[in-house]
Amino acid sequence: MKRFYKQVAVVPDGEGFAVRLDGRPIRTPARAPLVLPTRALAERIAAEWDAQQDEVRPQTMAMTGMANATIDLMATRRDEIVADVAGYAGTDLLCYRAHAPAELRALQDGGWQPLVDWAESHLGLRFVVTAGIVPVDQEPGLVEAARLHLDTYDDFTMVGASKLTHGTGSVVLAMAVIEGRITADEAFALSQIDELWQESLWGADDEAVEFRRALRQDLLDAADFAWLARG
């Protein structure tokens, strides 16, 4: 749509902060008021709206999109979303290592095992690690334990964690980012160990490179969203 406003401002709104366009409030696709929990997140969203030129391009407004999803979906689907993310504990990327070659296995062990150990020592989540792609049974109660921990996150943080989990294939990586153990850039690199190994052998594919570029940006945005929402 055409840009229909001139001025963008952040104003207090109840216990949160809202973005105003020429003094008018923004609403989500479900017509709920777009009220953010922190000024930092509201200002980031305001910057997205202010950066629009003649046309408003939603695909360039990642923070606005995640805020809309949080407000419109979490009120009615929080339990479903938390359970979906927790389910990744049963098939977490970091639990599946290569039989061979030794160089790839060393990269996986060196990058992934410290985080598996961290999940056990800091979150009480003990994962079973295997070699190959045949599914391994995790200990009873692991998924539920992951769900209970995720359920301590506020709605905005949970949306960031969901995007991080789906993007990396690992709830451990997502939690490690949210908890400040690693950065989103590190999570992206760790999630791409297998792909980059293959690329080192067979060369880069332009489509795969572009996919990874977009994925990396999605993960950076998701982490920023969660952190800004926490203030």
Contacts of 197 (CB under 8 A, 6+ apart): 103, 104, 107
Q: What's the CA angle centered on 175, arms 118 and 151, to 5 degrees?
A: 120
* Amino acid 133: pLDDT: 84
* Amino acid 81: pLDDT: 98
Residue 94 has pLDDT above 90, yes or no: yes
* Amino acid 71: pLDDT: 97
Of the CATH numbers 3.30.2180.10, 3.20.20.10, 3.40.50.10860, 1.20.20.10, which one belongs to the domain with range 8-60? 3.30.2180.10
Q: pLDDT by residue (tens digit) across 173-226?
A: 999 999 999 999 999 999 999 999 999 898 888 999 999 999 999 999 999 999
Taking the domains of the chain in order of start, what are their residue ranges? 8-60, 78-230
* CATH code for the structural domain at 78-230: 1.10.3580.10
Q: pLDDT by residue (tens digit) across 40-83?
A: 999 999 999 999 999 999 999 999 999 999 999 999 999 999 99
Question: What are the backbone dihedrals phi and psi of residue 223, each rounded to the nearest 5 degrees, phi first?
Answer: -65, -45
